[in-house]
């Protein structure tokens, strides 16, 4: 370029093209996921703070009114909820009392599900055990009829798996109660799988401290 350097017009054009200000929802999601990654890898921040921000991120960008996060206990084959957002207090209390064993987490018999991706599964109300009905925020509607395959009913929920290096389940993100009462888009499912994969890396780095 000789001695002239970068022209002001070129600089303005490129700085405008690559501005850090998000220009659409996809860019806002990416920016907020990057912020979450910073929080998750900052050892001065607690995992609870990271989980709380993650749940609010899911609500804000993907419209799920109910979000929960669970983890495996370090020294036993026991999985339990450790964070919840959007539930009534009595429902939240039921969630936190619940414990799952290995068959609960891996067996199709106890919780029949439909694969929605490499790291996600959809559990529909029709296959939900009777004992679980008290864990949903709209029990009076939980037997709602599915009038369309696109309906997302009370009792339907999506799980996104948080895995260790051996592909064992060390946690999960669970979402339900979409504000439009419809099955989420494929794009939404892929975004949330990416988020769960990011959580996997964060938990591995932090050794579940």
**Residues 121/115, Cβ–Cβ less than 8 Å:** yes
**Residues 55/69, Cβ–Cβ less than 8 Å:** yes
What domains are there in the chain, each with its CATH number?
A: 8-206 (3.30.450.40)
**Residues 119/160, Cβ–Cβ less than 8 Å:** yes
Strands (E), the chain: 64-72, 79-85, 99-100, 114-117, 120-123, 157-163, 169-178
- pLDDT of 131: 58
As a whole number of angstroms, the distance between CA 207 and CA 33 comes to 21
How does pLDDT run along the chain (209 residues), one tens digit per residue?
A: 444 789 999 999 999 999 989 889 999 999 999 999 999 999 999 999 999 999 999 999 999 999 999 999 988 999 999 999 999 999 899 999 999 999 999 988 778 889 999 999 999 888 766 656 555 555 444 456 889 999 999 889 999 999 999 999 999 999 999 999 999 999 999 999 999 999 999 998 887 55
Spatial strand order of the sheet with 169-178 comes to 99-100, 79-85, 64-72, 169-178, 157-163, 120-123, 114-117
As a whole number of angstroms, the distance between CA 148 and CA 146 comes to 6
Residue 100 structure tokens = 């799952």
As a whole number of angstroms, the distance between CA 111 and CA 124 comes to 9
CB proximity list for 54: less than 8 A, separation 6 or greater: 36, 69, 173, 195, 199
**Residues 176/136, Cβ–Cβ less than 8 Å:** yes
- Dump pLDDT digits (tens) for 133-153: 555 555 444 456 889 999 999
- pLDDT of 130: 60
């Amino acid at each position: 370029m000789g001695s002239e350097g970068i022209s002001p017009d070129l600089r303005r054009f490129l700085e405008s093209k690559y501005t850090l200000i998000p220009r659409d929802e996809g860019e806002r999601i990416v920016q907020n996921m990057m912020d979450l990654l910073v929080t998750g890898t900052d050892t001065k921040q607690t995992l609870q703070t990271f989980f709380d921000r993650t749940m609010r991120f899911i609500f804000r960008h993907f419209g799920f009114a109910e979000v929960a996060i669970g983890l495996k206990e370090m020294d036993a084959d026991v999985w339990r909820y450790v964070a919840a957002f959007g539930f009534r207090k009595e429902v939240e209390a039921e969630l936190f009392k619940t414990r799952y064993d290995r068959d609960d987490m891996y067996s199709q018999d106890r919780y029949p599900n439909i694969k929605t991706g490499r790291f996600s599964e959809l559990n529909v109300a029709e296959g939900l055990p009777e004992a679980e009905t008290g864990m949903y925020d709209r029990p009076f509607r939980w037997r709602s009829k599915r009038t369309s395959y696109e309906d997302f009913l009370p009792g339907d929920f999506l799980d996104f798996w948080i895995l260790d290096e051996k592909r064992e389940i060390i946690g999960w993100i669970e979402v339900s109660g979409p504000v439009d009462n419809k099955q989420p888009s494929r794009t939404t499912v892929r975004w949330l799988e990416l988020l769960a994969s990011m959580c996997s890396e964060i938990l591995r780095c932090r050794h579940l401290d």
